[in-house]
Structure 1
């Protein structure tokens, strides 16, 4: 189920500080892993210059949203991101979602389906999937709905490319989790969907702004 599931923060407990996020670059979303020669030049770029007729590889960004059951928040965020990518012509960006405690192959919740339809999002074909190391490894940027989701992503190897959705979208100004509407009335789903729309748009603005110029097509 897509319940929040995380333990409440004890009184007086220190809030985990938001992690600063570096600019996008061709070696990866946040931080390059390209080897450099003694002159400080990127070895990959040097090799490309030595092969003047070689085609550049098409750069794509795989965006992954993570919640608990992958039936409410993360599939809505995925559908919103796909819709925005189509609206903006972001052919280099793809979106996906997964859950930390997902029942593999489950449909989106009724509430998510209904508010999705209200916003022009079709979640009928969505099937939940469990977050694992392979899913984490394939993603370039992972945006989690809550702190416990972020911790699980990092435990599966996502540290350095995973952030709270609220923190990433607000450049660290907002670090609260996205409310889980599971089991609530439809109006609660509507509020969550509206929040996700704002957050995902802001996050995609940031991805597009920090992506290197000329990196869209190969």
Structure 2
């Protein structure tokens, strides 16, 4: 990583964050009110991805562990400590507070909505309520936090591109495994992604704005 930040046009992030926040609020309303559209949405997606191949299910089971709370928390702590070590204090505050805020909000909404999980395979264990998907929120938020850090700290374009592609693949694949293993409704995963997008977009806007202000004060 290079400590000299790249310039970023961050203003659209405020619009994106606001749009995802509104959509997430609307999605929460649909879930809470048990709107028939949600059941139709879940049924269509489940029918499209249904597959009982034991090898693929086992691979999905192993991969989904990368998005659990423990793994995401450990990785975030290591990331924040590394940023502090590199004296990238604004970056460290951004990463830690964004992850804490998104996951705390997710926990609150879970306990308010109290949506039950789908009927699960006994070989797959999952605790707590279903909406929003914690794996989806955590992986999406972490992926976009990493993308924001990659954009400002990595200068080599090929490296930057491949890292960003992997971050996108990571969060989408984690969400897919939650549906594939039938531990979450598809609407849980979509809701989790939107929540993560809302928090990370707004937080990234504040992050880039803080860096811009810092660079202007210390050209």
Q: Do both proteins adopt the same fold according to a TM-score greater than 0.5, normalized to the shorter chain?
A: no
Which gives a bigger RCO, structure 1 or 2 (Cα 8 Å, sep 6+)? 2
Whose helix fraction is larger, Structure 1's or Structure 2's?
2
Whose strand fraction is larger, Structure 1's or Structure 2's?
1
Q: TM-score, with normalisation over the residues of structure 1?
A: 0.28
Q: TM-score, with normalisation over the residues of structure 2?
A: 0.28
